[in-house]
Amino acid sequence: MTELAARRRLDPDARRTEILDAALRLYAERPYGEVSTTELAREAGVARALLNHYFGTKRALYLEALRELLTIPEQAATDLAGQRPDDRAGAAVDWFLDTVEDRRSLWLSVGIGLSGDPEVDAVVEDADETAVDRVLTALGRDACDEPLRARVRAFFGMVRAASREWLVRGSLDRPAVRKLLTTAFVTVLED
Amino acid sequence: MTELAARRRLDPDARRTEILDAALRLYAERPYGEVSTTELAREAGVARALLNHYFGTKRALYLEALRELLTIPEQAATDLAGQRPDDRAGAAVDWFLDTVEDRRSLWLSVGIGLSGDPEVDAVVEDADETAVDRVLTALGRDACDEPLRARVRAFFGMVRAASREWLVRGSLDRPAVRKLLTTAFVTVLED
DNA sequence: CCGCTTGTTGGCAGCTTGTCAACAGTGGGT
DNA sequence: ACCCACTGTTGACAAGCTGCCAACAAGCGG
């Protein structure tokens, strides 16, 4: 059953991604604290010490995986400008929901919101920051308006919670979530 | 300096709360993974094995502390009914912000939103559920309207994120947060 | 074919958690 | 007042986990 593969010598980048993919696979099922480095190494088909060699520490590997997961594809938010101005908010919400649905399992597995761990929070906030940039520029709004950015970040909290209601609890269907988020988004963008 | 106090024999309930308080104190500063049972025991002035005796496992102790933290005082939400009907949402938001500000350090330390850990999430969701109950009944709305409940839970996600903008980043002041959340809450309540 | 660079590994040292038998307050019975 | 059972409390042990380091070997240049 357990074939011990011959010692493969890989390009460092390839090995890195192999390990990262394995980590994403495991963290998709269980939270950080319940996944040991031994398991991570086994899943990646690699010696445990190699994790430390590439990522330094177990936590660093987790943060890398998290960053990888939260990095949203750039192309998506470009075509909002073509929409009718009065429904750009709706189009933006559709974009949110599409990306969430696409990365469903991983997105939900990593949890929603901030963890209380400063380093983890930093990664999440970083991802939020770029998402705010993309959305505001796609909407043709001033991306340097700090209070506006803050309101959008607050709105993201609602996006996460609403996605959870939709995908996990099933208490809202997609049209309901869309309507809820769109109206909320409009109010957020105004004042 | 380090006085080794004589072995005190306490009522189990008293000892439990002593340990829980110590745990809350530590978890207010550092996340779960960075607090060892040795530290928890030292902070509580107790042998490490006693933690296991009372709570079984380190994780169980954490969950207890979390539940304790998230349990909101009941009295607060009762006086909403007296408000002018058209500003009940604003009064509810004030109530949110008061409780958040009151428990500031602990609330923020525990993080915002869900963690990906099923057990932790269960505790958080449980607390949310009772909060939804209190708010809806205080507003005179149907507390059994499941889609409405879902929308309020989604709104809570925004409350958390907005509180963070206010208390941690300082990107919004209290009036701004109040206005943002109030208008959003109104739209959430309508649909 | 040899040897060097470097990707890769096994094993060690320190620390953490859960368990268990033993210790010691505390109150009741004589 | 003494003893004894009850049980709150503790020290020590075993298993597991993480980070580190010296050693091994795969591939490439000579």
Distance from residue A8's CA to nucleotide D29's C1', rounded to whole Å? 21
A82 vs A146, residue with greater confidence = A146
Q: Do B92 and B172 fall into the same domain?
A: yes
Q: Do B157 and A110 touch (CB under 8 A)?
A: no
Which candidate from A116, A184, A188 shows the least CB-CB separation from B111? A116
- Which helix (H) or strand (E) segment is A127 a member of? helix A118-138
Q: Is strand C in 7 Å reach of the CB of B9?
A: yes
Instruction: Establish if A47 belongs to a structural domain.
Output: yes
Q: Is the pLDDT of residue A23 over 70?
A: yes
pLDDT at residue B22 in the model: 97
- Which helix (H) or strand (E) segment is A137 a member of? helix A118-138
Nearest nt by C1' to A38 Cα: D17
Q: Do A54 and A99 fall into the same domain?
A: no
The nearest CA of chain A is from the CA of B55 a distance in Å of 19
- Per-residue tokens: A68: 């990888």
Nearest nt by C1' to A47 Cα: C9
* Radius of gyration for chain A, computed over Cα atoms and rounded to the nearest angstrom: 19
Q: What share of chain A is helix, strand, coil (3-state, %, to 5)?
A: 75, 0, 25
Instruction: Establish if A178 belongs to a structural domain.
Output: yes
- Taking Cα atoms as reference points, which of B25, B31, B22 lies closest to residue B111? B31
The nearest CA of chain A is from the CA of B111 a distance in Å of 4
- pLDDT tens per residue, range B49-85: 999 999 999 999 999 999 998 887 665 556 666 666 6
Instruction: Establish if A131 belongs to a structural domain.
Output: yes
Instruction: Establish if A107 belongs to a structural domain.
Output: yes
CA dist., res. B164 & res. A114, Å (int): 10
Nearest nt by C1' to B15 Cα: D8
- Of the residues A20, A36, A68, the one at which a domain ends: A68
CA dist., res. A57 & res. B93, Å (int): 42
Instruction: Establish if A19 belongs to a structural domain.
Output: yes
Q: Do A59 and A28 fall into the same domain?
A: yes
- Of the residues A27, A50, A68, the one at which a domain ends: A68
Q: Do A98 and A123 fall into the same domain?
A: yes
Residues 6 or more apart whose CB falls under 8 angstroms from that of B126 comprise B67, B70
A72 vs B129, residue with greater confidence = B129
DSSP state of B112: E
Q: Do B115 and A115 touch (CB under 8 A)?
A: yes
pLDDT at residue B64 in the model: 96
Q: Do B55 and B80 fall into the same domain?
A: no
Confidence class of residue B1 from pLDDT cuts 50, 70 and 90? very low
Round the average pLDDT of chain A to a whole number and report it: 88
Identify all chain B residues contacting A109, using CB atoms and an 8 Å cutoff.
116
The residue segments making up the domain with residue A185 are: 73-189
Q: For tokens 């500063």, what's the residue?
A: B29
pLDDT at residue B175 in the model: 97
Q: Poorest-confidence range of A75-84, A159-168, B15-24, B173-182?
A: A75-84
Q: Do A129 and A154 fall into the same domain?
A: yes
Q: Do B82 and B29 fall into the same domain?
A: no
Residues 6 or more apart whose CB falls under 8 angstroms from that of A5 comprise A45
Q: Residue B67 to residues A28, A170, B61, B121, B146: CA-CA distances in angstroms?
A: 25, 25, 10, 11, 24
Identify all chain B residues contacting A177, using CB atoms and an 8 Å cutoff.
154
Instruction: Establish if B28 belongs to a structural domain.
Output: yes
CB pairs under 8 A between A and B: 136
Q: Is the pLDDT of residue B13 over 50?
A: yes
Q: Is the pLDDT of residue A155 over 90?
A: yes
Nearest nt by C1' to A10 Cα: C7
Q: From the CB of residue B50, how many other CB atoms can be counted at a distance below 10 Å?
A: 13
Yes or no: say if A92 and A134 are a contact pair by the CB < 8 Å rule: no
Number of domains in chain B: 2
pLDDT at residue A1 in the model: 42
- At B113, is the secondary structure helix, strand, or coil? strand
Q: Is the pLDDT of residue A73 over 80?
A: no
Which candidate from A157, A164, A180 shows the least CB-CB separation from B161? A157
- pLDDT tens per residue, range A4-20: 567 888 999 999 999 99
pLDDT at residue A154 in the model: 96
Q: Do B119 and B171 fall into the same domain?
A: yes
Instruction: Establish if B48 belongs to a structural domain.
Output: yes
CATH number, position A59: 1.10.10.60
Q: Poorest-confidence range of A2-16, A25-39, A129-143, B138-152?
A: A2-16
- Of the residues A47, A68, A89, the one at which a domain ends: A68
pLDDT at residue A161 in the model: 93
Percent of all residues in chain A with a pLDDT value above 70, rounded to a whole number: 86
Q: Do B79 and B157 fall into the same domain?
A: yes
Q: What is the mean pLDDT of residues B120-146?
A: 91
Identify all chain B residues contacting A158, using CB atoms and an 8 Å cutoff.
154-155, 157-158, 161, 184
Phi, psi of B89, rounded to the nearest 5 degrees: -60, -45
Write out the residues of chain A at the interface with chain B, using a CB-CB cutoff of 8 A. 27, 31-34, 109-117, 121, 146-147, 149-151, 153-162, 164-165, 169, 171-172, 176-177, 179-180, 183-184, 187-188, 191
Q: Do A131 and A169 fall into the same domain?
A: yes
CA dist., res. A67 & res. A64, Å (int): 5
Q: Is strand C in 7 Å reach of the CB of A7?
A: yes
Q: Do A93 and A141 fall into the same domain?
A: yes
Residues 6 or more apart whose CB falls under 8 angstroms from that of B173 comprise B166
Identify all chain B residues contacting A112, using CB atoms and an 8 Å cutoff.
113-114, 157
B33 vs A73, residue with greater confidence = B33
- pLDDT tens per residue, range A88-132: 889 999 988 988 888 787 777 766 666 778 888 899 889 999 999
Q: Do A50 and A82 fall into the same domain?
A: no
Write out the residues of chain B at the interface with chain A, using a CB-CB cutoff of 8 A. 31-34, 108-118, 121, 146-147, 149-151, 153-162, 164-165, 169, 171-172, 176-177, 179-180, 183-184, 187-188, 191
Instruction: Establish if A149 belongs to a structural domain.
Output: yes
Q: Is the pLDDT of residue A2 over 50?
A: no
CA dist., res. A158 & res. B155, Å (int): 6
Phi, psi of B81, rounded to the nearest 5 degrees: -60, -30
- pLDDT tens per residue, range B85-118: 668 889 999 988 988 888 787 777 766 666 778 8
Q: Poorest-confidence range of A37-46, B14-23, B75-84, B129-138?
A: B75-84
